[in-house]
Amino acid sequence: MSEKIIITENLVKRFPVGDGEFTALNNINLSFEKGEFSGIIGPSGSGKTTLLNIIGSLDSPTEGSATVLGHRISDLSHKESAFLRNMHIGFIFQVYNLLPVYTVFENVEFALILQKRSATERKKAVMQALEWVGLENMADKKPSKLSGGEGQRVAIARAMVKRPELVLADEPTANLDAKNAHAILKTMKTLNKELNTTFLFSTHDEKVMDYLNRLVRLEDGEVDKDDIVQPKYMV
Amino acid sequence: MKMALQMAFKNLIGAGLRTWLNVSVLSFCFIVIVFYNGFLNGWQKQGRLDAMNWEFAQGQLYHADYDPYDVFTIQDAHGSLPEGESQHLTPVLIQQATLYPNGRMNPILIKGIPLDQKVINLPIDLLAKSTADIPVFIGKRMAESAKLSEGDQVLLRWRDQYGTYDAANITIAGIFDTEVATIDQGQIWLTLDKLWKMTGLTDEATLYIADSQYQPQPISGWNFQSLNSLLKDFESAVQAERIGSMVIYLVLLGIGLLAIFDTQVLSVFRRQREIGTYIALGMTKNQVLKIFTVEGGMYSIFAGIVGMVIGAPLFYYTATQGINIGSSAEGMGVRMANIIYPAFGPGLVTGTLLVLVFSAKLVSFLPARKISKMNPVNALKGKLS
């Protein structure tokens, strides 16, 4: 049996709204195993991103628990959650969030600098990550000179360069055309296969769903469906 | 820290014009502060040196009744030192007199000093060459105000030891040039022997100028004034000027720091996604806070570098060529040379830079503190929380 790296138990997240509260997630009980290529799907406002943020230790549950890689998120201090993200979790965002003053190389290298890796080690790892995403010739370019697809591929390289156990991708194809979306999904699927990295997507993009092995559907903050599926596209 | 420095450096360089506008304002502050302090340092150093060389040497021994700020004490404040007490001391006798240049009446001081004195720079020995009956030496300021030239004869009236008025024509045997107005304006110098003869106050002096080997010891009827106490008023004037100039520094610094503060407030607001990304990538909020604070400090380091590049030629030129302030300061009652050579030491430059760095870091830290309260999820969304 595979190792469970994400476990949520009776997870509830509420946000204060005016005088009352809004329940974004209600009684979520899920687990994800190592090496999964899964997605949390559902309409806008269903709680996908909130769940991803809690799993990524950027936020904490109001009730219940989320345990990621053996760490109970609500028990982590700021420093401990930063360490968890730094060492074990990669993030891919909808708007790439590349640092504009850095080159492609430096953007990817940044994650390794935070891990205090040596310059030689960093260079080797960054070039390999750029090779994975096919951008090894664009290392010196600034993000402003890249197309949307290239920018997102840099974000994938940045998330993957430290070889994390878990990659959280929040609507990674939302700003991409179909061709670029397929290209980056193939890249991620390949990395999932080759490095056995767990990928967890938050998406409502059909193209993404066509690559996933498991679809967890959220509806108004609750798990509506949790299906193992046969992906349309294989790598 | 190394990472924070590298990131702050890249962020500032990447920010382009915004950075250089802030750096320009701060470097202007840096140049003005260093320059004005250098000017005050130069003034102080030069004033002290001139006072030593031309007037006070290593200190002065005053007759107990003598008060340089009270003209009524001058006429009667004179006496002789006990036998054997005058070693390493040069006597100066001071008397009140009236000069009548071109029919005008000028109250003045006449000062007698030995012809062979070496304790101050006054070239009194030049009087030895004169064949005039009463040859005197005056400074250029005195010559200008009394409209006297070398070789002119002018009527002088003074009082002798009994208080009896006497008068004679004196001859301007020489005009000396000095930066020290207090031995020039409103006074004439002649040999002590001649003044003794004119007043009948033989072997008497109002004060004695001490050389470097003089060891002060209590002498009845005489008070020793150390160089520091003689320069106390001058030092106070410089100090007052320094305090006054603090207002200018504060205003200048305030403008520069306000620019940084404004930039940082905007930065924290505009760069929320970036802050969120740093946190998502594994930085702690304190590490992000450090980057923003270091960025502020780095503005001032850039300003120091730019200030030195632009200011160094100016500093070098003024320090070697001096700043001619003419005679504008003479009426102010402070000791000030016509040409001031500013003194820019490494301490001044480093000290000013440290003040800039510290204050810039402080004003950067204040808006950046918001980061520590920022929700990373909202930061990633670019929502102000």
B190 and B323 belong to one structural domain: no
A173-181 average pLDDT score: 83
Torsional sign, CA A126, A183, A100, A165? negative
A101 class by beta-carbon count within 10 Å (0-12 exposed, 13-18 middle, 19+ buried)? buried
* Residues 13-42 (B) with a CB less than 8 A from some CB of A: 13-15
B154 and B263 belong to one structural domain: no
B35 and B74 belong to one structural domain: no
Output helix, strand, coil percentages for chain A, rounded to the nearest 5. 35, 30, 35
- Nearest Cα of chain A lies from the Cα of B329 at a distance, in angstroms, of 53
- Does B241 map to a domain? yes
- Does B218 map to a domain? no
- Which one is predicted more confidently, A133 or B382? A133
Q: Report all structural domains of chain A as residue ranges with CATH numbers, in order of start.
A: 35-48+78-228 (3.40.50.300)
Per CB-CB distance under 8 Å, the chain B contacts of A45 are: none
Neighbours of A65 (CB within 10 A): 16
B252 and B305 belong to one structural domain: yes
Cβ within 8 Å, pair B273-A83: no
Spatial neighbors of A16 by CB under 8 A, at least 6 apart, are A22
Q: Is some CB atom of chain A closer than 8 A to the CB atom of B1?
A: no
Indicate if the pLDDT at residue A65 is higher than 60: yes
Cβ within 8 Å, pair B273-A95: yes
- Does B223 map to a domain? no
- Does B160 map to a domain? yes
B30 and B78 belong to one structural domain: no
B152 and B105 belong to one structural domain: yes
What is the average pLDDT score of chain A?
Answer: 91
B186 and B132 belong to one structural domain: yes
B266 and B199 belong to one structural domain: no
Domain total in chain B: 2
Q: Quick one: pLDDT at residue B327?
A: 61
CA dihedral B319, B322, B328, B334 (to 10 degrees): 50
Indicate if the pLDDT at residue A76 is higher than 60: yes
Beta strands in B132-263 (DSSP E): 135-139, 153-159, 165-176, 187-191, 207-210, 222-226
- Does B226 map to a domain? no
Enclosing domain of residue B93: 59-213
Of A144, A38, A149, A134, the C-alpha closest to A100 is: A144
B262 and B296 belong to one structural domain: yes
Q: Is some CB atom of chain A closer than 8 A to the CB atom of B276?
A: yes
- The order of strands in the sheet holding A214-219 is A89-92, A166-170, A198-203, A37-41, A214-219, A222-228
B39 and B138 belong to one structural domain: no
- Does B221 map to a domain? no
- Does B306 map to a domain? yes
- Does B42 map to a domain? yes
B16 and B48 belong to one structural domain: yes
Q: Which of B163, B184, B213 is the last residue of a domain?
A: B213
Indicate if the pLDDT at residue A1 is higher than 50: no
Q: Is some CB atom of chain A closer than 8 A to the CB atom of B334?
A: no
B198 and B256 belong to one structural domain: no
Q: Quick one: pLDDT at residue B11?
A: 84
Q: Splitting chain B (385 residues) into consecutive groups of 10 residues, what average pLDDT does each group show? A: 81 84 89 91 88 92 92 88 87 95 91 92 84 92 92 94 92 90 90 94 94 90 93 88 86 87 85 90 90 88 92 92 73 67 90 90 86 83 69
What is the tens place of the pLDDT at every residue in A19-38? 889 999 999 999 999 999 99
Q: Are B234 and B45 in contact (CB under 8 A)?
A: no
